[in-house]
Amino acid sequence: MIFSKLDAATYPFISLASRLVKELEESLGLNAILSPDSEVLRRSVERIREAVYSRATSVYKRDLEVEVLSHPVALILIKHMNNKRLVNVYAEAEKNRVLANLLKESQEKLATLAIDGFNWHVKREGDFLFVRFDDYLKTSVNMLDAYWKLVNRRLVKGYVELSRRDFSRLLAEAYRTRILEKVNQVEDVQVPSTLKSVIEELEREFQGVLPKVDVSATYVGEYVPSAFPACILKLLEEAEQGKNLSHMARFTLATFLLSIGKTPEELLDLFRKMPDFDESKTLYHLRHIAGEIGSRKKYTPPSCATLRTFGLCVANDELCQKVKHPLTYYSKKLKSLKRGELGKRAK
């Protein structure tokens, strides 16, 4: 299967897209691409605005070369704005756009896109696509819903069986993750000074639209369940099993996960299993405690003392004795995991 320019514009993760970007960059020159009156720059800004205002980007079909270039340029702009929330919003919007397109593709095309873009090991059989479990896990770990847990999938001879729809969702999520990695990687490109004013203008524009993130907390943005305290792990497990959690339990779980960088949208899937789940109500509550709407107060999880009173504390290790707050537990544990405290853990 041979990819077209339209494919490269639609799916920025395929090899043809990066090849085109490289060729165009060489023939046009970075300065021309980033000049204030460049069509690419205009489209890149538009792309970011689409993400912010409508949570999904579009594909600009009039000039496919402009479209292909606009994605990496958008990433450069976003990198310079240095706003974590904006990165997440853009990545999410791109994912939504790609997903909508993937859902229209044939089984064969889906497989080819995944192999070319992400080196997945893919097999096709009947109505299903099969992804090797290691490729599956690298992406599925970002999907909180129990539905995506490996234990709930059909794993046959090392391959995970997926419907076309689920395959598309997994692929779109892999793309989202790649954008986040890319933004962290993009080296500090020296941008022309004219671009600086564009960036500043966008920053001003988005200020009221995007909620401020709490940058003081060191643990923000790292989702490492193995560093969660037992109380949170237990709640997470119960939520995934669809147990009916008390109000306090839900509040604790939600505030904890939001504090470490999950978005309300991402948490939605987690609460979907609750017997009394109501999508719009839950999202409203989540966004409220995330400080996105309403009083704009970002709630933090209750302290260990409070959790003990509510019977939610299941302290089971030494670290629990030393901390007074589940978030402190998490950041301490995370640090020690990174330091790799091995001596005590020899088996």
Partner 1 sequence: MGKELNNEGFVKKMFKKYYAEWEGEPPKDFNRREFAFVISRKGEMIRHKAFEEWGEVREFLRKNSPLHVYYSSAYYAQPSASDMDAKEWMGADLIFDIDVDHIYTPCKERHDRWTCLDCNTSGRGMPPEACPKCSSKRVEVKTWFCEGCLEVAKEETTKLVEDFLIQDFNFSPREISIVFSGRRGFHVHVESDVVKELDQRARREIVDYVRGTGLVVQNGKRRVLAPPLNAGGWPGRLAKGVYELLNAGDIEGLLNLRRGSKVEEVLKAIVKGLEESRDYWPLEGLARKIWFKAVEKVIVRKRCEVDERVTTDIKRLIRMPGTLHGGTGLIAAKVHLKDLESFDPYVHAVAFVKGEIKVKVLNMPEITFLNQTWGPYNDEVVELPIGLAVYLICSENAIVVGEGDENA
* Interface with partner 1 (CB under 8 A): 132-134, 137-138, 140-141, 146-147, 149-159, 161, 223-226, 237, 240-242, 273, 275, 316, 337-340, 342-343, 345-347
Partner that binds at residue 157, options ligand SF4, partner 1, none, CB closer than 5 to 8 Å by kind: partner 1
Q: What angle do CA 21, 22, 28 make, to 5 degrees?
A: 85
Query: Which range in 94-102, 132-140, 256-264, 312-320 contacts ligand SF4 by CB under 6 A?
Result: 312-320
- Site for ligand SF4, residues 121 to 150, rule: CB under 6 A: none
Of 12 and 302, which CB lies nearer to ligand SF4 in the complex structure? 302
74 contacts 86 by C-beta, under 8 angstroms: no
CB of 302 to partner 1, least distance (A): 24
Per the CB < 8 A criterion, the answer to whether 32 and 140 are in contact is no
Residue 304 contacts which entry, ligand SF4, partner 1, none (Cβ below 5-8 A, type-dependent): ligand SF4
Whichever of 39 and 238 has its CB closer to ligand SF4, that residue is 238
What tokens were used for 208?
Answer: 């009221």
Q: How many CB atoms lie within 10 A of CB 225?
A: 10
Query: Toward partner 1, which CB reaches closer, 57 or 139?
Result: 139
β-sheet with 155-156: strand ranges across: 122-125, 128-132, 159-162, 155-156
Residue 229 interacts with, from ligand SF4, partner 1, none (CB under 5-8 Å by kind): ligand SF4
**E-assigned strand segments in 29-177:** 122-125, 128-132, 155-156, 159-162
State how far the Cα of 45 lies from the Cα of 202, in Å rounded to an integer: 8
Shortest spacing between CB 190 and ligand SF4, in angstroms:
46
Instruction: Please check whether residue 158 is in contact with residue 54, taking contact to mean a CB–CB distance below 8 angstroms.
Output: no
Examine residue 307 and tell whether it contacts ligand SF4 (CB under 6 A).
Answer: yes
Q: Which one of the spans 18-26, 76-84, 99-107, 224-232 is the region binding ligand SF4 (CB under 6 A)?
A: 224-232
Round to the nearest angstrom and report the end-to-end CA distance of the chain: 50
Q: Which does 326 bind (CB under 5 to 8 A by kind): ligand SF4, partner 1, none?
A: ligand SF4
Count of residues interacting with ligand SF4 (CB under 6 A)? 12
Contact predicate 244/276, CB 8 Å? yes
User: Could you tell which of ligand SF4, partner 1, none binds residue 283, using a CB distance below 5 to 8 A set by kind?
Assistant: none
Measured distance CA(170)–CA(174) in Å, rounded: 6
Query: Residue 22 CB: number of other CB atoms within 10 A?
Result: 11
Q: Which residues contact 79 (CB under 8 A, 6 or more apart)?
A: 183, 186, 188
Nearest-angstrom CA–CA distance, 205 and 195: 15
SS3 131: strand
Strands 122-125 and 159-162: unpaired
Given 313, 331, 333, 334, the residue binding ligand SF4 (CB under 6 A): 313
If the CB atoms of residues 37 and 276 are measured against partner 1, the closer one turns out to be 276
Residue 132 contacts which entry, ligand SF4, partner 1, none (Cβ below 5-8 A, type-dependent): partner 1
231 belongs to the binding site for ligand SF4 (CB under 6 A): yes
- 236 near ligand SF4, rule: CB under 6 A: no
**222 with 329: CB under 8 angstroms?**
no
Nearer CB in complex with ligand SF4: 14/304:
304
Cβ distance to ligand SF4 smaller for residue 118 or 329: 329
* Residues at the contact surface with ligand SF4, assessed by CB under 6 A: 229-231, 304, 307, 313-315, 320, 323, 326, 329
